[in-house]
Amino acid sequence: MPPKGNSNYIALVDSGIANIGSVYKALEKAGRKAIVTHEANVIKKAAGVVFPGVGSFAYAMMILQKNGLVQILRETIESGKPFLGICLGLQLLFSSSEECSECETKVIPGLNIIPGEVKLLPAGQPVPHVGWNRVYLQQKGHPLFKGLPEDPYFYFTHSYYVQPLEPQVRLALTFYGSQFTSAVAHGNLMGVQFHPEKSGPEGLLLLRNFDNMVFIHR
C-alpha cells in the first residue's frame, strides 16, 4: 500500500523483468525511500517512477502485458511526473525492437512512447557491450547530469541500442565501434542505456539528480 498523505516516494516498478535489488539500494543511497511495486495505485500516486529492466525485449513485453502494466506505464508518463527507464526499461519505451530470434515476426512492438527502433549493435566489436564507457552529453545543462564530470564514464551491459526517430530526444551518445544513443530525454521522460546503480559515485549522483527533479516537480 502507498503511504498516506503526500506522495513522498519514488515507485520502483517491479515488472518481473529485472533484479531490482541493486537499483533499490542505489536509490536509498541517493537519498530517497523507494517503494518496490507492481500495483497500479502505488505507481499512480508516486511522485516519480523508475523503470529498470534486463533480458529479452519480447519476453519483457509479454510480462508487462500479463501483469497489466502496459497502460499503467503509458498513463504515468502522460501524467507528466518524472519517469526514468534504465537499460531494457529504456528500450521498451520505443516503438519496436528487432530482438527476438525465435519470434515469427522480425519486429516486436514496444510501448511506442518514443518513436524509434531497438537494434542490434553493429558488427566489429564484441557483443554484448560490457564494461565502462564514456557518455557524451548532447543536451547541455540537462538536470539529470548536473554536477557530473564532462563526458563521464558509466557501466554498460547490453547487446541492443535505441535509435530514436527524432534526434532532439537524444540526451547522450556513446561510441562502441560506432555511435549510439546512450540516454534520452523529452520533458518528464528520461532513459539511460547504462546502469547508474552499477556506476559508482557518478551513477549515484545521476540518481540523486533524478530524485531532485522529482521533488522539485512535486
Catalytic residues: 87, 195, 197
Q: Count the helix, strand and coil residues of the chain and give each as a percent rounded to the nearest 5.
A: 30, 35, 35
Task: Give the whole-angstrom CA distance, residue 209 versus residue 84.
Answer: 11
User: For 16, what's the count of Cα atoms within 13 Å in the CB-facing half-sphere?
Assistant: 14
Task: Give the whole-angstrom CA distance, residue 218 versus residue 208.
Answer: 15
* Helices and strands counted in the chain (H then E): 6, 14
Task: Give the whole-angstrom CA distance, residue 193 versus residue 170.
Answer: 12
Phi, psi angles (nearest 5°) of residue 11: -85, 125
